[in-house]
Structure 1
Amino acid sequence: MGELPRLVATDLDGTLLRSDGTLSTRTVEALGRITAAGVGVVLVTGRPIRWLHHVYDQLGEPLPTVCANGAVVYDPHTDTVLRADPLAPELLAEVVRRLRAEVPGASFAVEITDGREFRHEAGYEARWDYGIPTSREVGDPTELHAAPAVKLLVRAGQQDPDAFLRVVAGALAGLAESTHSSYSGLVEISAVGVTKAAGLAWYCARHGVDAADVIAFGDMPNDVPMLTWVGRGVAVANAHPAVREIADDVTDDHNADGVAAYLETLLGTAGREVSPDSDAAHR
């Protein structure tokens, strides 16, 4: 460390957010300080657009967001999807066909309309989307692949997430991207080449930022492509072993404000290098 990056990219759940889904005052203040120092901040998450307002409300101001594991780049200030890379209906149909053949008890859901709407079949547990207007159970399973989807989700009861991912990825090799970010056996499927790294790379290219000038934070396997693409990848202490293995640094647990702690240290170090008497060095 010692020099500020041009951009900070951070995952949300398990990384920036605490276990109860909240942002601490310390974290909000650290993000404000890094922004005031001239560093951009972008959120990079598996979440869909419809789950972002809870985070934006806590931040006080919305931040640009790469959603759906890189499939959607969203400008919340104008409520505009800048880029979307969905699974085409015919591809969705083939993915579902293969997984029904390979995975006993598989049930599916899709994120459509750039992730603003959610469709699921009867056997799929909706959880966060249960009972909300943008969520609907389909009567005919073919409705799941009637429209382009930025993400397909598959469950098959409670599963070891890493083992289940290997099964799904093996069945879909060369056809689609598979990853996970949960401990309950939920696998998230995107179009080939769609990852958090790809979405962030598109955003960075749009703003003239090189990968070497980006620091990113994450905790789960869906963060691995992003953390290996950026100049410095940082895992929170609660991160999945696959994330800790590839990370350049490890910061504190997400419940201990690990991202904020890292940014505070970065700001302090950079400030001292500029001038021991500068305001930044004493923040």
Structure 2
Amino acid sequence: MGETPALVATDIDGTLLRDHRTLSPRTAGVLARISAQGTPVVLVTGRPIRWLKMVYDQLAEPLPAVCANGAVVYDPANDEVLRADPLAPALLAEVARRLRAEVPGITFAVEISDSRQMRHEAHYPLRWDADHDAIRAVETPEELLTAPAVKLLARAGEQDPDAFAALIGSALRGLAEATHSSTSGLVEISAAGVTKAAGLAWYCERLGIDARDVLAFGDMPNDVPMLAWAGRAVAVANAHPTVLEVAHEVTAANSEDGVAAYLEKIFDVG
């Protein structure tokens, strides 16, 4: 990578946001100044589209986003999904069949309508936005698998997140992607080949930007493909060990505005 990146890609939770899911004025200001200078800034997140508003409300202007771990590329300026790569119903059914056979007590939810809506089994534990109009329990497990889903979510009580993700990944090898970004045993499943790296690569190709000219920030295992793909990979100090291992550099923790501190030096926008 040259001295100045052609594009900045950053994870949101645990990376850009502080621990209380707030964006510091310092970070918002740095992102705004970089964008104003003409360098694209892209949010690359496991979040669904419906969870972006709380971030956009803290930014000077909404930024393009690669959502649902790469399954959705979103243009907020036009409220338009530029690309979606969901799990087809037949594939969802096979994934669910394998996992029910492998993991006792497993329960599922799906992100549908390009992640604008969520459906879940009755016993699936909702930890966020449970009262949101876009969230609904299905009457039967089969109903969950009738529409294309940009992400399948799996829980089986409290689990060691790394071990549970490894178990799911082993059961689905060659069929689908499994990753995690939580500390509570939530595994996120996408179609084969769908990762943050794949979604970001598609967006960068659209802009004519090569991977070697991308600067990427992350903190959790779902960020690893993106960090391995980017020309310069930076982990925040609070990152998961697998992220620290793949990163080229480490900046300060999310609670200390690590992304902003790094960008201020690279772009001279402090």
Q: Same fold (TM over 0.5)?
A: yes
Question: Percent identity between the aligned chains?
Answer: 70
Which string of whole-angstrom CA distances, capped at 9 and with x for unpartnered residues, describes residues 65-84 of structure 1? 00000000000110100000
Which string of whole-angstrom CA distances, capped at 9 and with x for unpartnered residues, describes residues 15-52 of structure 1? 00011110000001111222223211000000000000
Q: How does 1:38-53 map to 2 (within 5 A)?
A: 38-53=38-53
Cα distance in 1 between the residues matched to 2:101 and 2:27: 45
Tell me the TM-score normalized by structure 1.
Answer: 0.94
Specify the SS of the correspondent of 2:200.
helix
Give the C-alpha shift of residue 60 in structure 1. 2.6
**Structure 2 residue aligned with 1:277:** none
Structure 2: unaligned runs, 5 residues or longer? none
**Structure 2 residue aligned with 1:105:** 105
Specify the SS of the correspondent of 1:14.
coil
Give the C-alpha shift of residue 131 in structure 1. 1.2
Structure 1: unaligned runs, 5 residues or longer? 269-279
1:227 is aligned with what amino acid?
Answer: L
Which string of whole-angstrom CA distances, capped at 9 and with x for unpartnered residues, describes residues 85-115 of structure 1? 0000000001001101100110100000000
Tell me the TM-score normalized by structure 2.
Answer: 0.98
2:156 is aligned with what amino acid?
Answer: A
Q: How does 1:255-274 map to 2 (within 5 A)?
A: 255-268=255-268
Larger radius of gyration: 1
Which string of whole-angstrom CA distances, capped at 9 and with x for unpartnered residues, describes residues 215-248 of structure 1? 0000000000000101000000000000000100
Cα distance in 2 between the residues matched to 1:72 and 1:78: 15
CA contact (8 A) 2:106 2:156 kept: yes
Specify the SS of the correspondent of 2:57.
helix
1:68 is aligned with what amino acid?
Answer: A
Q: CA RMSD in A?
A: 1.0
Q: How does 1:131-280 map to 2 (within 5 A)?
A: 131-268=131-268
Cα distance in 2 between the residues matched to 1:80 and 1:2: 32
1:181 is aligned with what amino acid?
Answer: S
CA contact (8 A) 1:118 1:129 kept: no
Cα distance in 2 between the residues matched to 1:143 and 1:29: 45
Cα distance in 2 between the residues matched to 1:119 and 1:2: 45
Cα distance in 2 between the residues matched to 1:248 and 1:75: 29
CA contact (8 A) 1:237 1:250 kept: yes
> Given the superposition, is the C-alpha separation of residues 212 and 2 from structure 1 closer, same or farther in structure 2, using an over 3 Å criterion?
closer
Q: Is 1:66–2:103 an aligned residue pair?
A: no
Specify the SS of the correspondent of 2:151.
strand
Which string of whole-angstrom CA distances, capped at 9 and with x for unpartnered residues, describes residues 162-204 of structure 1? 0001110111011100000000000000000000000000000
Q: Is 1:124–2:124 an aligned residue pair?
A: yes
Normalized per residue, which structure has more helix? Answer: 1
Q: Is 1:75–2:75 an aligned residue pair?
A: yes
Specify the SS of the correspondent of 2:46.
coil
Give the C-alpha shift of residue 2 in structure 1. 7.3
Cα distance in 1 between the residues matched to 2:38 and 2:16: 20
Cα distance in 1 between the residues matched to 2:2 and 2:177: 36
CA contact (8 A) 2:32 2:61 kept: no
2:234 is aligned with what amino acid?
Answer: V
Q: How does 1:24-35 map to 2 (within 5 A)?
A: 24-35=24-35
CA contact (8 A) 2:29 2:60 kept: no
Deviates more, 1:120-129 or 1:43-52: 120-129
